[in-house]
Structure 1
Amino acid sequence: MASSFLEFLQVNKHKTFRPKKKFPSGTLRYNLHKQAEASLHSGLDLKSAVRMPANENFDDWLAVHTVDFFNRINLMYGTIAESCTPQSCPTMSGGAKYEYLWQDGERFKKPTKLPAPDYVALLMDWIEVRINDEHIFPSDMSVPFPRDFQQICKKVLTRLFRVFVHVYIHHFDRLVQLGAEPHANTCYKHFYFFVTEYNMVSQRELEPLKEMTEKLIRANGRRPQLRQAYNNGR
């Protein structure tokens, strides 16, 4: 399933919501990215694939995965973006129970209610600034990661998870219609196993997709019956 997801990424790369971030070819982090990607092709289950290779630096492993998840979630959102409008999605929500407010400390100094596409656009801009900042995500191995690098990644990954919540709960039918559901599920499971392996997203934040996650993990390679889980969240 993982290889078909990577093929899906290649075929649909024109739908990416934002330009992809890449580490320069030939750098250690680029090689680590290729190593992580190869593990998805290797037949390893996704839970094993997220485990850091021996003798690697965790900040490097975290940087590579944070950038990869940014790129892949961009693609996933890009596939349904035309269906996510201020009219269809006037709030950034995950059903009636969960609503996300935007705050960046600059333009939006207080938590602010926004339509979902505006929230996602601001979120992707906010992440893009950070992953393209050579002081935060350095391509040059001689440049150290900042001391708060792991906290920055926690915030990035937590906010990216909210895109999963919105897409799964409000745009699941569109994923199915496009044939993107299996690929989104693979992306989600990879993300979920990574952030839980390294405690990068709190259990409280993961709660909106708890039922769906349990179904996906129990399915163990089979296509799970998810429609009821999504509809329950609406």
Structure 2
Amino acid sequence: MPAAKTRTIKVTKTDKGGLQELTVEELKDLFQDFIPGDIMDSVTLPPGEDLNEWLAVNVYEFFESIQLIYSTCEKVCNEKAITCVEMNAGENCKYLWQDGRVYKKPTPVTAPMYITLLFQWVQGQLEDEAIFPTSPTTPLPKEFPKIVRNIFRRLFRVYAHIFMCHYGTLVEKNIAQTFNTCLKHFLLFVREFQLIEANELEPLRIILDKI
């Protein structure tokens, strides 16, 4: 599969990554968590709600959720771990970091460094009054949908890395079901509002096909 236009993703083919380490029963439990349910009630745009405002609210919630989830496997996600010497979503999908300032070109970094930089970048976006104004009388910028899509695209990469490389840790800590619920919510939201291009979602195709 060709790389995305951003050139910060390199996907060759889908693989099952860390899923190969799970037992048959664990896989059954995993896919059971992704059967569509009433979670769609928290995805669809409420009647009378402004779309951009709805996207803004959910950006905050998804960002907070993924930070909490990542903190549970942060110790095993380090530069010495074979799965984390570079940011990836399995052996066939690599991510490069680029922020236009310090990293002006797509640059390979370790997974923990990538995620740290990503979280800092998202936090900077959320704290920028020109993008996410705190005053209810200040309108969101015209380019807001594009900015939000970029945030969701990058947050997906953290979900994908955790799923493909650290799912076993989540199982060991008995928080896999919580992660699955958060991931399902995220993927359904992304699909509902078409926030991420199909090629970017390919690493988790095995899950997308279940919901």
| Range of TM-score over shorter length | 0.7 to 0.9
1:98 equivalent among 93, 98, 104: 93
1:49 equivalent among 42, 52, 57: 42
Identity percentage over the alignment? 39
Answering whether residue 104 of structure 2 is matched by residue 109 of structure 1, we say yes
The 1-side partners of 2:49 and 2:88 are apart by 38
Which has the larger share of helix?
1
Higher relative contact order at CA 8 Å, sep ≥6: structure 1 or structure 2? Answer: 2
Question: What's the CA shift for 1:212?
Answer: 2.6
Question: What's the CA shift for 1:132?
Answer: 1.1
1:70 equivalent among 60, 63, 76: 63
The 1-side partners of 2:55 and 2:75 are apart by 31
2:194 equivalent among 184, 193, 199: 199
CA contact (8 A) 1:85 1:116 kept: yes
The 2-side partners of 1:51 and 1:94 are apart by 28
1:166 equivalent among 137, 161, 169: 161
Instruction: For structure 2, list consecutive stretches of 5 or more residues without a partner in the other structure.
Output: 1-36
- Aligned residues, how many? 173
Aligned counterpart, 1:131: 126
1:86 equivalent among 75, 79, 82: 79
Question: What's the CA shift for 1:202?
Answer: 1.0
The 2-side partners of 1:213 and 1:83 are apart by 26
The structure 1 segments of at least 4 consecutive aligned residues displaced by more than 6 Å after TM superposition are none
TM-score when normalising by structure 1: 0.72
Question: What's the CA shift for 1:203?
Answer: 1.0
Question: What's the CA shift for 1:70?
Answer: 0.4
The 2-side partners of 1:70 and 1:100 are apart by 19
TM-score when normalising by structure 2: 0.80
